[in-house]
Structure 1
Amino acid sequence: MAVRLGEMMLHAGMLTPSQLEEVLRSQAAFGGRLGTNLVEMGLIEERDLVRLLHEKLGVTCVDGSALNSVSQEVVALVPRELVIKHRVLPVALNNKRLTLAMVDPSDFVAIEEIGFVTGLVIVPCVATELSLSMALERYYGIKREVRYIPVAGGLRSRYIAQTEGEGAEGKGAATCGSVAPGGKEWRVSFHALCERLAEVKERRDVVTALLDYLTGEYRRAAFLILRSGSVAGVRAISQGCEIDGFSGYVADLSRLPFLQKAVQEKHFYLGELPQECIDTRLLEKLGGEVPQTVLFLPLLIDGEVVAFIYAEDRGSKLSGGMKELQQVAEKGALAFKVQALRKKIMGS
């Protein structure tokens, strides 16, 4: 199904071959449907994905707004265990005909089982994986993975790295104070970050690329890794300058219950800096000033949290930019995985 959808988009001129290859690599690393990865990477709007699914599958499509207005009576028609098993949502009941939202309306096993249990005629319709995941959490309390967090307003503002000299856009490392030659404020675009991550040769270069991107947007940013039940600092930057001694920070996860929960649920933390961070000297290592809002965003490799990106808010950028920040985390995790694979190849 994934390849055929990709081919449709290629023929329609909606994707280039290189973009499709990148999406397929992301799907292989992080899972999810091809359409989900397309939306997450900003290559297609969800409404366009719905239209494509309708054309491809020849069944009725239901969008996110319709999934937000399902009655509790209809929701109760399908047992929660079947909803979890088949990832479906009952949408409407009409004369013993139950409309069922699915990401794969050709899943006849699910259709037959739910029809048998409910005693109703099942009418499948297609919904995007993103919309369905949000609806399942809304009605059944089925927790979404971090990749399925919606953000109104779309992608965060995209800044172009401004430098002097030919070919410098988005390629250099952030300087102290985030000021490029000629006095222009340094900004690394999301596209430039992706290009850079695709070219890195060492794992430490992945961390550098991520922090160079974040330091252009946030006052302080850091990268932490998980190891043997602890979280450890790798690098941190404040207003474009390296924070000395951050790599010496280590704390037991049991002393940071909010991070322990984030690891268990594979979910980000966004809010005030918890008191535990002060107790374990994280705030001291970051410079001592209490921030208004902080983000701990997990990096997942093969479904497991291996690290956290930390960022502090400037105004309301964090709350309004989660979609693109999640993409940054996914790109970083994919780059780490590529480095691990390269190391295996070279060592074999």
Structure 2
Amino acid sequence: MRLGEALVHKGFITEDQLQQTLKAQLIYGGHLGTCLLEFGYVNESQLGRVLAETFEVGYASIEMFQDINPAIIDTISRKVVERCHVIPFGLDDKVLQVAMIDPRSVTALDEIAAFTHYKVVPWVAPEARIYQAMERYYNIPRRQRYIMVCRDLDLETSAGREQPRRQYATGDPPWQSNLGEISAELEDRRLDDPSAEPEPDAGVDPIHDLDQVSKTLCEAQKMESVTSTILNYASRTMARCILFAVKANEAHVLDSRGFPSIEEGGEPPSFPVGPQGIFGLTLGREDYRGSVPDEPSFKAFYQTLGVDVPAEILVFPLYLDDRLVAVLYGEAGGGLMLDPDNEEYLRLAKMVTLSMSLVVIKKKILAA
């Protein structure tokens, strides 16, 4: 049973609250438990106990992170901690006790065991507490969102109340900074008249190397240069790809390759962003790679795009300041499968939001 289902089953939250939280998770990212704490639907103890039952491991409460022996901290390097989101807190007879966000991650557990040469026993802790401990013991900075979550949890605990305050019942959460400028840039790009000026890369040979992509993105002055560079590179191995801009819970087609119905002109389509449908496939994941579920909402998506349902798709949610700002979608087309090198796609996806931020920063510098 998944975390949300377990919380509903135990009566800690309602089905409506779960659906609202899933939608928030898709938009703001992070673990479902973090969103539940921010909405105030569960307290830290409830979340920890149900996490432990769901993963079938022990619950590492905040008390276990107090004054951890430096020798135990030194058993795992900063780089491994940053990759695996893990905090060692106990060591006895070659058995290392560690707290994790995802104690079922075989890849992370194998890496920790290989690095420490100990038997590793995983425990689970809320995402915000893991990041808090990573900052305290390894000087790995937390994002503002997680600082605020822990602050509110600590305030509620000291006040003797069981429920944390709701942070973003409506509107954008308070930790976000320059999203307005980026949203405006993306909106300007979406509304651009394609006849007004040629694409900046028109007539230029496609880039075949990710290092060259990164250099080109660093030099980009406009958002259209970013979108063109990303999609031109992606289309090397993807028969069809789209970059969506996300605004007000709607995903708008920003640019695309391989979709005649979009590229022939007219108003680009938009789609709702929610737990159901293409975008919901990425819930709680860094990306989604796999087949398309045989459900009406997915069929409607491809009907709108004017293409058949593909055999395999890749969907990357692109977050900035813990807010979904764009989505990169790709497919091989027809019954074909995509290139097996997922790491290359991951690198490309990470470049998108970084380069979008860079364009905004450059404009601010030039306007100063």
What TM-score, normalized by structure 2, do the two folds share?
0.46
> Which structure has the higher relative contact order (CA within 8 Å, separation 6+)?
2
What TM-score, normalized by structure 1, do the two folds share?
0.49
